[in-house]
Amino acid sequence: MSTSGNDRCRRCGAEIPGDSTDHLCPACLMSGALKPSDSETGTPAPAQEEATSRYERLQFPREFGGYRLLGLLGRGGMGTVYEAEELATGRRVALKMLEQELDSPDLRQRFLREGRLAAGVNHPNSLYVFGSEEIEGLPVITMEIAGSGTLKDRLDREGPLPVTDAVDAILDVITGLEAAFAEGILHRDIKPSNCFVSPDGSVKVGDFGLSVSTLARVDTFVTNPGQIMGTPAYASPEQLRGDNLDLRADIYSVGATLYTLLTDRAPFEGENVVQVVANAINNPPTPMSEWQTDIPPELERVVSRCLAKDPEGRFSDYMALRNALLSFSSREPEPASLKVRASAGWIDFLIAFLVPYVILMFSIGNEAFHFRLIMERTLASASHYLVFIGCGLLYFTLAEGFWGGGFGKRFRGLRVVRPDGRRPGPGRALLRILLPVLGVEGIRIPIVLTFITATTINDLTTAEIVVYSAATSLCPLIPILFTLKARRENRFATLWDMLSGTRVVVNPKGTLRAAIEPATRLSDSLEDAEQIGPYLITGELIPGEWLAATDPILRRPVWLRRRDASGPSDARREIARQGRLRWLQKVESDETTWDAFEAVPGTPLSTLIEGGQRLPWATLRHWLHDLASELLAAAGDQTLPEELSLDSVWITTRGHVLLLDDPWPGVENRAESVAVADLAGQQRFLSSIAAHVDSTGLPLHTRPVLRNLAEGKFDKLTFLTGTLLGLLEKPAEVNRGVRAGAIFMVPFYTWVMIFVGAHQGADWLYRIIGDSAGAVALTAAVVVLAASALVQLLSLPFHFSGGHSIFRLAVVDARGEPAGLSRLLIRWAIVWLPLLVPVLLAALMSRGAGITAAFIPILIVLLLWLAAAAQAVIHPHRGLHDRLAGTWVVRR
């Protein structure tokens, strides 16, 4: 049976199934991996004969519908992209049109589906789709033009990118993919040629030709079940097998793209398509260090994790991948302050030294551990002491050398690095911990050996006991002297930081924004809908002035604003920022001219604060920074409205802020407008928004900033924007881990030390309470808690608390101000008296019967008190005792 020309590959002539909608054989579909110079887009270029006959006869510039074509940007198997100028506005755009020889109902549907998916994503790191239309019988998608080529073009020019440049580019890609996934879209074809570079250097994700929707709301047209799509060198194994995909498939492609940016090599290569696919499915990629020696091993591990064959072995989401990459970006890490390092050091110290201390105390006893070295003064007598010190040194050497920090630093979001950002390695890590340990033990041991001459513990004099106690208590304070030169100017570098060539920095992390439920839902019914230009009208916000509509092809909602005499300025039409609505096009209707803007699901800010509702600082800080950034940009390009109000602030469902050109009309009680032509007005506007923050959750470090904002003290908007950006890097809420550390860490450490010492060396205590480890443990707990209560009571006038100070917490009242002495005293009584009073009564009532009789009631009271403490951990911002006292716990 003969095969028609339609059943042969239009590129190589090979026979193909008759139902193929691509008119390409599988080899040509996948050949992008083998010929990245001209077909890396995943939909291969036409045969050279076709390309020549089709493109060489075009002369640029030439008019095409309402556009002037300026030149060819690129082409693939299904579409051609031109740089064009919109005749009506002069706007530069990219026009993507379907190849005429490929025009068919199926391919036209697939072509428009790409525009529909891309139009659902509005983000600075994704190419924006302005609209879709038909010109000269061909479907055309109008898109944002990146202007500086692709990452593939940059690789061709420069070769492998520096680490920071490559990671910065991939972080932009991740952000664009994250925005797409938030709209239910998997890209499925991420690679360097689909990552477009803007003139400002930012990278945008484009070419959604192989994307699929994870939501049923878009359409049901997808590639045939089991059909393998994408470029093999960048496609995940499950994608090559035709399996079901989730976002981890795109994470794989991101890792493969980063591999290429760093090495200028694809992670999997071969002499033919089959070999590439086999290598991608079965073999690990060649280590990047074989191509480039300056790639940090930690970064190579991140890429390897992205390229795991099993999706379970990859990063679970974009946030986790972003956090793993941020430390390799050009973003300068924030130096960790000494106060934050103190709490992290406490936790690491407990882990490093408390565990071997407990083991040694129980195995050899109090006397052998503390005094054998002093009494015998031999190497053998120092063995247990050396084991104790060695365990601590080993913990810090391994944890900081190989992982950049122990549990304490990781818990507090810190890491130890060299000046080049790499982990310190075991040598530097050992030097870091040796300096403070030698500073303590190098002075304590000579002192006790010099002043203590007793050869048995029973021979110790009172003076020798005082010397031993003083040296053991005071020498650990010596490392504080090593920190006296630490200043913000030298990035809080301590002496051991300087000598070891390391520094402690805050581990950068991305933040999630709270999703907002849209308060206004417009009807999307298209039955009997009036049409204006390409749009179908779905409702009226202001009759005759502001209409809600939809694009029936892209299935995207839009707003139509009646144009006044002048219409939007050129600068306003060109705005492509996330903080403003995109202007799409001018639409003529009878004698009325309309401006089409994108319509973003969300709600005006004024509806979120109706009835005096307060906004959490963790959310509001992002909105303030978004607004300040947009005010700064709008003032620069003169697109700032003359007046703004709370009704002009639109909160999207993804938690971002849009500044509307006019107040939202669907608000009953209009907010007061503020003139924002000058800096004073801009600060008043931002302050009117900040005034709605929940003051009881406001960190203390934020209060001076908001106070200065309310008083208009910022000299420049850039200063304000930078300050708000800095607040995004600081903790906004009290989490459970920090609250648990503040409540339990110091008492637990003290209890362990007392219990172990009493259990091993206090025979007199056993004679009083009986030969029971449980009784000793309970007694030690009561003693520790009573001492903690006393210390906290004495420190109330100074607004000081050990746990709160270490973990940088504070107690505030209903106004958000630091709680006064009377309020703190009430809080102290609510916390401690329910524990101490019953324990004291139980002890007094059992005096005649012995301490054992009080064991059970005291244990019950203690467990109830611990349950209340646990409740405060579960509700870290305001536990039960804070509710009773009228106080809140916030970040300092």
- 647 near 671, Cβ under 8 Å? yes
CA-based end-to-end distance of the chain? 82
- 818 DSSP assignment: B
Helices and strands: H and E segment counts in the chain: 32, 25
CA–CA dist 351, 354 (Å, integer): 6
Contact partners, residue 425, CB within 8 Å, separation at least 6: 401, 402, 418
User: SS3 helix, strand, coil % of the chain, rounded to 5?
Assistant: 50, 15, 35
- 275 near 246, Cβ under 8 Å? no
Exposure string of 699-713, with b = 16+ CB inside 10 Å and e = fewer, is: bbbbbebbebbeeee
Please tell me whether residue 833 adopts helix, strand or coil conformation: helix
Both tokens of 525, joined, read 């019914």
779 CA to centre of own chain: 45
Specify which residues 48 forms β-bridges with.
none
CA–CA dist 82, 69 (Å, integer): 6
CA–CA dist 681, 486 (Å, integer): 40
Q: Tell me if residue 661 is catalytic.
A: no
Both tokens of 606, joined, read 């004024």
CA–CA dist 461, 487 (Å, integer): 44
Q: Pick the closest to residue 328 from 170, 509, 167, 169 (CA basis).
A: 167
CA atoms within 13 A of residue 617's CA, in its CB half-sphere: 25
CA–CA dist 136, 67 (Å, integer): 12
Catalytic hit among 189, 348, 595, 647: 189
CA–CA dist 46, 655 (Å, integer): 43
- Report residue 538: phi and psi, to 5°: -115, -10
Please tell me whether residue 809 adopts helix, strand or coil conformation: strand
**Stated length of the chain:** 892
- Other beta carbons less than 10 A from residue 695's beta carbon: 19
- Sign of dihedral through CA atoms 555, 559, 563, 568? negative
CA–CA dist 350, 442 (Å, integer): 20
Instruction: Tell me the C-alpha to C-alpha distance, in Å, between residue 427 and each of 390, 401, 406, 502.
Output: 15, 7, 16, 11
Which residues are known catalytic residues?
A: 189
